[in-house]
């Protein structure tokens, strides 16, 4: 099947997700209005999948953009696929719906298309929310994600979200969730870091066997925010083999890196706040990598995580101690 910007993948609950989405995370020093402007431009260009999160601190602006494009007739609400994320301080069952309702209120939307657990571990509400907060340390919590998941299932039953999923879960954690007694809904997706240095083939094979799709973030390596990323790691887009493949197709390394993930059957979140780049990113649908070049790029896998979130390494549910 030829991929286009309008291609959707059917989820295990019958809903469908656009294969390319706009990622809206930005460092705290980036003005929030840039995300709002970029979202409007993206929708004008044909993006229909918008990925955001409570912890990004910009759901008010992203919601403004979506509603502006609905108001001017560019799209209807049902055309837009919006993903939100439950932050780790809302994992206690009595807080899950509050966390969701905070996002809905900020966005001024009646429902989310997809709501996912941002990480498999919980943080106490009185602890720091992000590592750039120097005044507070993270306060580990021990909420079992079984209980969090049951509360998410109730949010789906209440019509506040269409689909529910997870993010940054390893295979062992997915297995545990899927074996939960009384499981009502399987996660539809696992959103994970995925790129040519972290191709996630083993995790993808496992997820495929359970009808769970992978959604890829940091597909171009990383935004290299010093709060999250070891700046001594190699810059993915400067990889010489990637550059050679890109030259062969007369494409940018970024386009080839994105196309590689798409052809693996993984949903891609493309993050950019510039109109020219947003448009260029849709060029990934204008060419196809041959099997030989797919194999060449697959062999670049180093199992390298850029976003290790090492601040949480001591938490029992920290996911990256396992191979995948």
Dihedral angle of Cα 158, 90, 70, 72, to the nearest 10 degrees: 150
Q: Give yes or no for a contact between 111 and 77, defined as CB atoms under 8 angstroms apart.
A: no
Distance CA(321)–CA(120), nearest Å, equals: 13
Q: Of 25, 47, 54, 56, which one is the catalytic site residue?
A: 56
- Catalytic residue at 54? no
Q: Give yes or no for a contact between 200 and 161, defined as CB atoms under 8 angstroms apart.
A: no
**Closest-CA residue to 137 (of 118, 124, 154, 119):** 124
Q: Which helix (H) or strand (E) holds 269?
A: strand 267-270
Cβ within 8 Å of residue 1, ≥6 positions away: 7
User: What tokens does 244 get?
Assistant: 């050679």
Active site residues: 56
């Amino acid at each position: 099947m030829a991929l286009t910007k309008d291609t959707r993948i059917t989820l295990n609950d019958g809903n469908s997700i656009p294969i390319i989405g706009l990622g809206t995370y930005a460092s705290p020093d980036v003005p929030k209005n840039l995300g709002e402007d970029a979202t409007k431009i993206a929708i004008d260009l044909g993006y229909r999948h918008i990925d955001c999160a409570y912890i990004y601190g910009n759901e008010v602006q992203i919601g403004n953009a979506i509603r502006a494009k609905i108001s001017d007739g560019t799209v209807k609400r049902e055309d837009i696929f919006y993903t939100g994320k439950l932050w780790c301080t809302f994992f206690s069952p009595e807080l899950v719906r509050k966390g969701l309702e905070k996002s809905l209120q900020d966005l001024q939307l009646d429902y989310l298309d997809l709501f996912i657990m941002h990480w498999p571990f919980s943080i106490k509400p009185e602890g720091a929310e992000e590592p750039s907060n120097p005044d507070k340390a993270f306060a580990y919590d021990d909420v079992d994600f079984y209980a969090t998941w049951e509360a998410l299932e109730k949010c789906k039953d209440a019509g506040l979200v269409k689909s529910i999923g997870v993010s940054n879960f390893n295979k062992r954690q997915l297995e545990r969730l899927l074996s939960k007694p009384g499981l009502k809904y399987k996660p539809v997706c696992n959103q994970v870091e995925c790129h040519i240095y972290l191709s996630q083939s083993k995790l993808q094979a496992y997820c495929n066997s359970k009808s769970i799709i992978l959604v890829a973030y940091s597909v171009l390596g990383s935004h290299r925010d010093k709060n999250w990323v070891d700046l001594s790691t190699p810059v993915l887009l400067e990889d010489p083999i990637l550059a050679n493949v890109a030259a062969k197709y007369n494409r940018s390394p970024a386009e080839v890196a994105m196309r590689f993930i798409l052809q693996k059957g993984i949903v891609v979140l493309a993050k950019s706040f510039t109109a020219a780049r947003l448009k260029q990113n849709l060029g990934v649908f204008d060419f196809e990598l041959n099997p030989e070049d797919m194999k060449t790029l697959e062999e670049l896998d180093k199992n390298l995580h850029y976003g290790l979130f090492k601040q949480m390494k001591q938490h029992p549910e920290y996911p990256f101690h396992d191979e995948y």
